[in-house]
Amino acid sequence: MRPIFIAGNWKLNPPTLAEARQLAVDLKVQLPSGSGVEVAVCPPAAFLAPVVEAVSGSSIKVGSQDSSPHASGAYTGELSTNMVKSLGCAYAVIGHSERRQYHGETNQSVNQKTVAALASGLVPIVCVGETLAEREDSVTFAVVEQQLREGLKGLSDSVKTGAELVIAYEPVWAIGTGKVATPAQAQEVHAFIRQILASIFNSAIADRLVIQYGGSVKADNAEELLSQTDIDGALVGGASLKADSFVGIITAANAVAVSA
């Protein structure tokens, strides 16, 4: 059985270190005891170390929102995977749609960053998903398949069990818009992703790989989404910025885990 994995992407929030630390502490305090759900938060790079410290002693893990394909060198502003790992982080989000849109991320750069993350012992959360125009043009599957095949190229030696990697399907048209794919729409793409993963790796690895859904996930729609066969968690944006709303999603996920 695959674990349910809920990760909060804080993006460029909150504005101060004090608020970031308080959010982490509030989440640690409010996290349901005995939860069978894996939980992580991904704060801005400047807040990684303090957030790692704030959640210490809990089951909450921390990830970066990006990482460099370079180990060191003259790369101003970059954050290497070894740096992220040394701060106590477990994950790195790679290829988020906002990185693709605003920073020129390509499937090739996603591949390079994923290779570097795996080499350092980080678990990459590799994001894929289509724009509204691509969905309306009925090319969702083609876009997602290309992102997967090019982004995960050459990783068969690094991914041996499926636990080393997480995929997040984020329909770009449902991020920050209040729109959300229906459970059936999300499940359809998640099942397709697992099929492609089986061809990239093998069926046993694909069956164990966690595939998150990311796209306006909230406490009131989380349980229905997470009850779908191939949806194994959520990459949460805005709803992760308040402890009570994020915990509400975790609680819904726990209900699904208990009933499974």
pLDDT in tens, 2-29: 999 999 999 999 999 999 999 999 999 9
Over range 223-243, report the average pLDDT.
Answer: 97
Confidence of residue 46 (pLDDT cuts 50, 70, 90): very high
Catalytic option among 38, 96, 105, 130: 96
Alpha carbon distance 102, 91 (integer Å): 22
Indicate which residue of 38, 105, 145, 170 is catalytic: 170
Q: Which of 23-27, 35-39, 227-231, 249-253 has the least mean pLDDT?
A: 35-39
Residue 179 confidence (pLDDT): 75
Q: Which two tokens stand for residue 256?
A: 């699904």
The yes-or-no answer on residue 96 being catalytic is yes
Catalytic, 170? Answer yes
Q: DSSP string covering 151-214, please?
A: HTTT-TTT-SSSTT-EEEE--GGGSSSS----HHHHHHHHHHHHHHHHHHS-HHHHHH-EEEE-
Quote the pLDDT of residue 236. Answer: 97
- Find residue 123's DSSP bridge partners: 91
Q: How far apart are CA 172 and CA 127, in angstroms?
A: 10
Q: Give 260's pLDDT tier (boundaries 50, 70, 90).
A: confident
- The model's confidence at residue 102, banded by pLDDT at 50, 70 and 90, is very high
Q: Which helix (H) or strand (E) holds 253?
A: helix 243-259
Question: What's the pLDDT score for residue 106?
Answer: 98
Phi then psi for residue 166, to 5 deg, are -125, 140
Task: Report d(CA 163, CA 118) in Å as an integer.
Answer: 11
In the prediction, which pLDDT does 32 show?
Answer: 86
Give the H or E element holding residue 54.
Answer: helix 48-54
Tell me, what's the pLDDT at 34?
A: 75
- Dump pLDDT digits (tens) for 208-231: 999 999 988 999 999 999 999 999
Torsion of Cα atoms, 142 then 146 then 148 then 151, to 10°: -160
DSSP string, 113-137: HHHHHHHHT-EEEEEE---HHHHHT
**pLDDT interval class at 35 (50, 70, 90):** confident
**What is the b/e burial string over 129-161, where b = at least 16 CB atoms within 10 angstroms of the residue's CB?**
bbbeebbeeeebeebbbebbeebbbebeeebee
Per residue in 119-174, pLDDT (tens digit) is 999 999 999 999 988 998 999 999 999 999 999 999 989 999 999 999 999 999 88
Residue 95: per-residue pLDDT: 98
User: Against a cut of 0.85, is the pTM above it?
Assistant: yes
Of 218, 241, 178, 216, which is closest to residue 13 (Cα–Cα)? 241
pLDDT in tens, 175-214: 777 777 899 999 999 999 999 999 999 999 999 999 999 9
Report d(CA 232, CA 85) in Å as an integer: 24
Question: Where do the domains of the chain lie?
Answer: 5-259
Return the CATH number of the domain spanning residue range 5-259: 3.20.20.70
**Dihedral sign computed on CA atoms, order 233, 238, 242, 244:** negative
Neighbours of 227 (CB within 10 A): 15
